[in-house]
Structures are given as C-alpha cells and as structure tokens.
A and B are shown apart, each in its own frame.
Chain A
Amino acid sequence: MSEFVMRFLIGGAVVSLFAAIGDVLRPKSFAGLFGAAPSIALATVGLTTSKQGSQYAAAEAHSMIFGAIAFFIYAISVSRVLARYKTAALPTTIILMSVWFAVSIGLWRWWGRFS
C-alpha cells in the first residue's frame, strides 16, 4: 500500500513540476515540449527497478516507445483539430485521447506478432 502512496506523491510532484516549467517558458511552441515530458516514467522507473528489477523496467521502457509514438499522433491530431475547427481545448483533448489508446494498443499488439 505504501508503495502506491509513494507513487502518488512522487507522480503528483513530478507532473506538477513539469507543468509549472511549461507555464513559465516562452514561446508557447517551446513550452509545449514539456507537455510531453517523461513525468510518469521519471516518477516510476526508479521504484520499479528497485522492486521488480531492471529487466522488468526495460520491458516497460520497450512498450513506452509505442506509447510515445501514439502520443505523437495524438498531439498532432489535437493541434490540427484545434487550429482547423477552433473547438474547445478540454473536450477536444479528452475525446481525442481515444486516438492515443487505439494507436498505442494497436502498435503493441502488432509488435507482439514479431516477438
């Protein structure tokens, strides 16, 4: 139980820190880089390595590559939809989250066929 409390506190702090860095940086396109900061990975990899070993953490990092590719497609989709249709940011980012889920799980399953 204490492991998850620790994950919660570290995760919350790291995500908040990167969000604050993104707030103060200018221009907005550069600050946007911090929207894709490896916050969850930085918060968890150390704990995962100490609990389950480095091979387990490396296997997670392998899948993280697919998650990052999915994030890339998701971020481009959000950018295009916001610029073209001028929709509200929060519903757009939440609805298009389905793109992230579909692409990341699709890539992971596709890669699984070769390994």
Chain B
Amino acid sequence: MDFSSLRETQPHEYIIRFLFGGVCTVSAGLIAKRYGPGIGGLFLAFPAIFPASASLIENHEKKRKAEHGFNGTIRGRLAASIDASGASLGCIGLAMFALTLRMALPGHVALHTLVAASVVWITISSLLWSISRHRIFHKRKKLTDQRRQDV
C-alpha cells in the first residue's frame, strides 16, 4: 500500500470522481426505469471508474518522471495499460459477482447476498491476479515446450 498516492490526487479529481460515480448510478436507475431491468442491468457493470482512473495513472506517472527531468509520457501510458490489464481480471470476478446475485437474490436477504457476492468478486479477482502474477500457465507451457524439444 502507498498512501502518498492519495496526496497526489488533486481535490478537483476527487470531486470529478464523485460526480461521475453519482451520475453513472442515477443514469443506471433511470435507464432501468425507462427500458426495464434487462437493459438497466447492463449498466450495473458500466466501466464507471475506469476512464478517470486510467487517465489519473497516466498523469501521475508523467508527473513523477517530470520531477526527475524526464518525459514520462510513454511510461504513463504503459502504466495505464497495466492497470487496464488488471481490470480485465477484475471483470471475470465482476461477472461472478453478478452470477451470485442472480442465483441468490430471490429468497435471500439483499444485504447478505451483496456481502456474499462481494466476497466472491474479491476472491475470484485476487486468485486470477495471483495466477497471472506467478505465470502458472506460462510455466506449464514452457515445460511442455521443453518436453517437446526433448522428444
């Protein structure tokens, strides 16, 4: 954890996030009201934080490099790319979150279901990240390639 990142974020950036999050949530409710839960439900998985986060990561990396007299444009964009790659793993957890809600909501207390679905989301996402981090499947592929060469 690096709490100094919180100080790097400007007050107006926090305000933009809050407004954007609020607008996205209200829009999801309005769309569901107008077009029904089918279309409305899609917007529960709307990438609300994503564009602002990617842009902030790029800007923060650029600023850090600029403090040392370097142009960090490319580094900032690559950092945003790594963040997006992590988000793609989180999306699989997000789908499992939705599936848990879909299966458990009828007949269970909403709060309990939300807690269970959140646990599923963070567990699946972290597990996938760990697998990706340790390149478990990559190692297996390497071993298979090695065996092929041996044969």
Chain B residues at the A interface, C-beta cutoff of 8 Å: 1-3, 5-6, 9, 14, 17-26, 28-30, 32, 37-58, 73-74, 76-95, 97-99, 101-102, 105-108, 110-111, 113-114, 117-118, 121, 125-126, 129, 132-133
Contact = CB atoms under 8 A, between A and B. Distances in A.
Contacts of A74: 47
B41 A67 contact: yes
Contacts, number: 330
Interface in A1-60: 3-4, 7-16, 18-20, 22-50, 54-60
Interface in A63-115: 63-72, 74-76, 78-80, 82-83, 86-90, 92-94, 97, 100, 104-105, 108, 112
Interface of A is mostly: helix
A107 to B, nearest CB: 9
Given A40-B25, A75-B47, A68 B114 contact: no
A8 B83 CA distance: 26
Interface of A: 3-4, 7-16, 18-20, 22-50, 54-72, 74-76, 78-80, 82-83, 86-90, 92-94, 97, 100, 104-105, 108, 112
A46 B24 contact: no
Given A72-B95, A90-B54, A39 B21 contact: yes
A89 B6 contact: no
B105 A37 contact: no
Contact of A86 (B57, B74, B92): B74
A39 B91 contact: no
- The 8 closest A-B CB pairs, nearest first, are A32-B86, A11-B25, A15-B21, A63-B41, A67-B45, A36-B90, A12-B22, A60-B41
